């Protein structure tokens, strides 16, 4: 009897390598997939189903299938919170971007041995509750703080900052600035310094070097930071409620009223679904615009 008639081929003993790799990948992804389904997909599905229901007489949810909640949410006289939220989110994202870019650039390229200290200073505010940090601005922007100083300087004793969109934007920039700084810093930290040196050696000025070399390399960090800031800003509730005194009425404030006070859960769910769609469309458009701009810059450089 020969050896070949006794020993079975390897394919009959164990599955192919590609099958084992697929099974292993599936097992590794299973915990994250379950976490994703339970904490994101399932709650979102519940909100979508609830948005087509009816509110009962005592509030809450009653199963039905109607588009009346979406019609009410999209009524021209009631879309102001959506517009205000979109404007505030875009403005806050731009302000965070303009403030974060020089900070991240300085830490990545000019800080030297103080780099770790500056990063720690950016992280320290996160050691305190977001609510406490927001309440602290009531004193800073109040009559005994910045507003009082500006009022006395311009001779207007009634000058105030709290209760205005300016106060909300200040709180937004303070609260979300680190989310913009760190992605930009990471991209700048990984940037090849020889590229900027070569650009300067070839006669390009500082602005041309920044526009053609630094900015395209930093673009992934800018996009990531903008998304991290824009998405939570669209549903922001705490900062407008505290620093805006409720006068700056955003969609987050309206959702709280619909669910907790009016107890009109279906209409609140419809507004939440519309908010999610607005954020999705805005982020997709932003990514498309940024990618198009990156390709046009690459073509112009070539």
Q: Does the pLDDT of residue 199 top 80, yes or no?
A: no
Residue 16 is predicted with a pLDDT of: 64
Q: Does the pLDDT of residue 235 top 80, yes or no?
A: yes
What HEC string does 140-178 produce? HCCCCCHHHHHHHHHCCCCCCCCCCHHHHHHHHHHHHHH
pLDDT tens sequence across 96-113 = 999 999 999 889 888 888
Q: Does the pLDDT of residue 136 top 80, yes or no?
A: yes
Residue 279 is predicted with a pLDDT of: 85
**Angle at CA 143, nearest 5°, toward 139 and 148?**
115
Separation in Å, CA 195 to CA 53, 183, 223? 58, 20, 22
Residue 92 is predicted with a pLDDT of: 92
Confirm or reject CATH 1.10.3720.10 for domain 68-301, answering yes or no: yes
pLDDT tens sequence across 163-175 = 888 999 999 999 8
Reduce the DSSP state of residue 62 to 3 states and report it.
strand
8 A C-beta contact, residue 93 and residue 229: yes
> What global pTM score does this model have?
0.78
Q: Does the pLDDT of residue 3 top 50, yes or no?
A: no
pLDDT tens sequence across 288-299 = 876 765 665 555
Which tokens in the block code for residue 256? Answer: 């709280």
CA distance linking residue 62 with residue 4, whole number of Å: 71
Could you tell me the pLDDT band of residue 72, with boundaries at 50, 70 and 90? Answer: confident
> What's the whole-number average pLDDT of the chain?
83
Instruction: Tell me the average pLDDT across 134-157.
Output: 87
Q: Does the pLDDT of residue 301 top 60, yes or no?
A: no
Domain-wise residue ranges, the chain: 17-45, 68-301
Could you tell me the pLDDT band of residue 91, with boundaries at 50, 70 and 90? Answer: very high
Could you tell me the pLDDT band of residue 4, with boundaries at 50, 70 and 90? Answer: very low
């Amino acid at each position: 009897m020969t050896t070949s008639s006794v020993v079975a081929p390897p394919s009959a003993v164990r599955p192919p390598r590609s099958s084992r790799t697929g099974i292993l990948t599936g097992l590794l992804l299973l915990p994250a997939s379950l976490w994703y389904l339970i904490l994101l997909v399932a709650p979102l599905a519940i909100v979508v189903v609830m948005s087509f229901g009816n509110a009962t007489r005592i509030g809450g949810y009653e199963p039905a299938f109607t588009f009346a909640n979406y019609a009410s949410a999209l009524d021209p006289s009631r879309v102001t919170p959506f517009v205000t939220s979109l404007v505030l989110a875009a403005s806050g994202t731009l302000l965070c971007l303009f403030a974060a870019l020089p900070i991240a650039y300085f830490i990545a390229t000019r800080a030297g041995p103080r780099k770790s200290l500056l990063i720690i200073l950016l992280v320290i505010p996160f050691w305190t509750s977001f609510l406490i940090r927001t309440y602290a601005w009531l004193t800073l922007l109040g009559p005994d703080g910045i507003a009082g100083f500006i009022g006395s300087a311009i001779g207007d004793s009634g000058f105030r900052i709290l209760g205005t969109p300016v106060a909300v934007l200040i709180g937004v920039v303070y609260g979300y600035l680190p989310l913009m700084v760190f992605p930009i810093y990471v991209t700048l930290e990984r940037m090849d310094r020889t590229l900027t040196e070569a650009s300067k050696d070839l006669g390009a000025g500082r602005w041309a070097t920044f526009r053609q070399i630094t900015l395209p390399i930093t673009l992934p960090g800018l996009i990531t930071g903008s998304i991290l800031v824009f998405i939570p800003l669209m549903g922001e509730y705490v900062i407008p409620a505290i620093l805006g005194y409720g006068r700056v009425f955003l969609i987050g404030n309206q959702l709280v009223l619909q669910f907790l006070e009016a107890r009109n859960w279906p209409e609140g769910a419809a507004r939440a679904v519309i908010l999610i769609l607005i954020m999705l469309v805005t982020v997709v458009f932003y990514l498309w615009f940024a990618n198009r701009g990156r390709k046009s810059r690459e073509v112009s450089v070539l």
